[in-house]
Amino acid sequence: VQLAISTLGNGSLNNTSMNMIDNTHWFYDWVVPSGTDEDGVFTTRVYASDAVSNDLDPSPTIDSSKHIDNTPPVISNLTIDSLTSSSVQISWLTNENTTGHIEFGPTPSFGFWLHSIPFTISHHYTLSGLSAATTYYYRVISYDLAGNHDSSSDATFTTNQQTSKRAQIGTHNENSPPSNPTIDGPTTGHVSQLYSFNTRSVDSNNDSLTYTFDWEDGVIDSSGLMQSGMNCTRNHSWMKAGKYILQVTASDPTTTVSSKHIIWIDAVAVGDVGYLTDDDRDGIFDLFHNQQTGIKTATEIRQGVYLIDVNGDLQWDYEYNVTTGEMFSILHQTSSTQATQFPLMLIFSVIIMVFLSLLIVVYRRRFYKKQ
C-alpha cells in the first residue's frame, strides 16, 4: 500500500524514510505485515512534527480506505451456447468484476488462447474459425482487480458437422482443395536477422485451414486452425549463409497444397550452376556451392571478378561478376588432352620428314639424268 501526505507549506525529509515528490508532497510504501493474508480494511495513521518537535497543524487526515484483497474470484455457470460447425459461444459468471482469457485447442494441452475480456461479472465470448465435427478442450481463467486469479475445470465441446451448399441442393461433389498458399516476404537477407513472412489460402468449401512453414534449416512451424482467407504470419531467422527454399502448406480436413519461396541469406546465385556464400559476413563471398553435385569449393577474386571451380579439380571454370551478373567460361587444357596431342604432333612431323626426303630423292634422280 502506498501512503501519501501533503502540506500547505514547504518542508523537508530529515530523519524520515518517506520519499519526497516535491517540498509539499511525500509518499511511503507500506508492506502489509507478514502473516496478515486475510482480506479486510486496514487503518493507517501518520504523525508529523517539525525540527523542534511541534506537531503538524492541522493534523494529517486519517485514511481508512486501504482494502487488502487476497481472495481469488469464483467462476460459476460455465456454459456452451450457439454451437455451430465453425464457432461456439462460451459464457460464465464471476462473483466480482474480472477480466481473463480462454485457453482452447483440439488436444488436452490446448494450444490457443483469447484474451482482453473486459472487467465484468457476466462473460460471453465467441470462438470462431473452428473445424467441423472436432472435439475441443477448453478452460477459462479470470483475474480480479487485485491480480488474484482462478481457473475453471477443463471441459470439452464438439463442433457440428458442416452442411455445405452442395448438400443443401441435393448434389454430391468431392471436397475441393484449398488454393495454393501465397507467400509474401523478403527474398534476400542476412544471418541472425529476423524476417516476417505472410501466407494466405482460400478454401472453396469454406473449411478451416492449418498452415505449416518448413524453413529448410531443420525448423518447422505450424499454425492452429484458421478461417479460410485469413492471413497467417510467422517470423524466422537463419543461422548460416545459404540458399533456403521456404515451403508453406495449407491443409483442409482432407487435402494439402503447398507453395515455395526462395530466400538468399548472405548468398547470391551464379547462373543455374550454383551459388556463392559469404560465410564470415565480411562482404566477400568465400565458397561456391554446386547445386547439382553438392560440391563446395573456395573462390578467388581477381580484378573484382570471382573465379569459380565448379567440380573441385583445382582449375577455374568460370569468371563471375557479382555486380553485373555476367558469367564467362574459362577454357583450359587438361593433362589428358595434352597427352593425346603429343603423339599426333609426332606422327605429323614424321610424315612431313618422309615427304621431304622423297622430294629430295626424286629431285636428285632427275638432276643426274640430265647430266
Residue 151 in grid coordinates: 481457473
Q: In this structure, are residues 220 and 213 in contact, taking their beta carbons and an 8 Å threshold? A: yes
pLDDT at 17: 62
**Final residue of a structural domain among 225, 247, 264:** 264
pTM as predicted: 0.48
pLDDT at 128: 83
271 in a structural domain: yes
**Final residue of a structural domain among 16, 42, 68:** 68
Positive or negative CA dihedral for 146, 151, 152, 158?
A: positive
Query: Do 133 and 147 belong together in one domain?
Result: yes
Query: Do 285 and 305 belong together in one domain?
Result: yes
Query: Do 150 and 211 belong together in one domain?
Result: no
Query: Do 273 and 321 belong together in one domain?
Result: yes
Query: Do 114 and 152 belong together in one domain?
Result: yes
Q: How far apart are CA 340 and CA 82, in angstroms?
A: 87
Q: Helix/strand/coil (H, E, C) string of 228-276?
A: CCCCEEEEECCCCCEEEEEEEEEECCCCEEEEEEEEEECEEEECCCEEE
Residues in the chain: 371
Query: Do 309 and 251 belong together in one domain?
Result: no
Torsion of CA 274, 280, 284, 285, to 10 degrees: -10
User: What is the residue-level pLDDT of the chain in tens, covering all 371 positions?
Assistant: 555 555 555 555 555 566 666 665 656 666 656 555 556 555 666 666 666 666 666 565 555 555 677 899 999 999 988 888 888 889 899 999 998 889 999 999 998 887 756 788 988 888 888 888 899 999 999 999 888 999 999 999 999 887 655 444 444 457 889 999 999 999 999 999 999 999 999 998 888 899 999 999 999 998 888 889 989 999 999 999 999 999 999 999 889 999 999 999 999 999 889 999 999 999 999 999 999 999 999 999 998 899 999 999 999 999 999 999 899 988 764 544 455 555 677 787 888 888 888 888 777 777 666 55
pLDDT at 235: 93
Q: How far apart are CA 68 and CA 287, in angstroms?
A: 67
- Domain limits for position 91: 75-158
Task: List the one residue out of 69, 66, 72 whose CA is nearest residue 1.
Answer: 66
Query: Do 253 and 271 belong together in one domain?
Result: no
281 in a structural domain: yes
Q: In this structure, are residues 310 and 275 in contact, taking their beta carbons and an 8 Å threshold? A: no
Query: Do 303 and 368 belong together in one domain?
Result: no
pLDDT at 154: 94
Please give the radius of gyration of the chain, using alpha carbons only, rounded to the nearest integer. Answer: 41
How many Cβ atoms from other residues are within 10 Å of residue 176's Cβ?
Answer: 14
Question: Which pairing describes strands 135-144 and 149-151: parallel, antiparallel, or unpaired?
Answer: antiparallel
Residue 273 in grid coordinates: 550452376
pLDDT at 166: 47
16 in a structural domain: yes
CA geometry: angle 281, 284, 286, nearest 5 deg: 90
Query: Do 198 and 250 belong together in one domain?
Result: yes
We report the CATH number of the domain holding residue 88 as 2.60.40.10
Q: How far apart are CA 101 and CA 119, in angstroms?
A: 11
Query: Do 56 and 101 belong together in one domain?
Result: no
**Final residue of a structural domain among 264, 279, 307:** 264
pLDDT at 161: 85
Residue 341 in grid coordinates: 596431342
173 in a structural domain: no
**In sequence order, what are the beta bridge partners of 79?**
91
Q: How far apart are CA 352 and CA 371, in angstroms?
A: 29
| Structural domains in the chain (count) | 5
163 in a structural domain: no
pLDDT at 135: 93
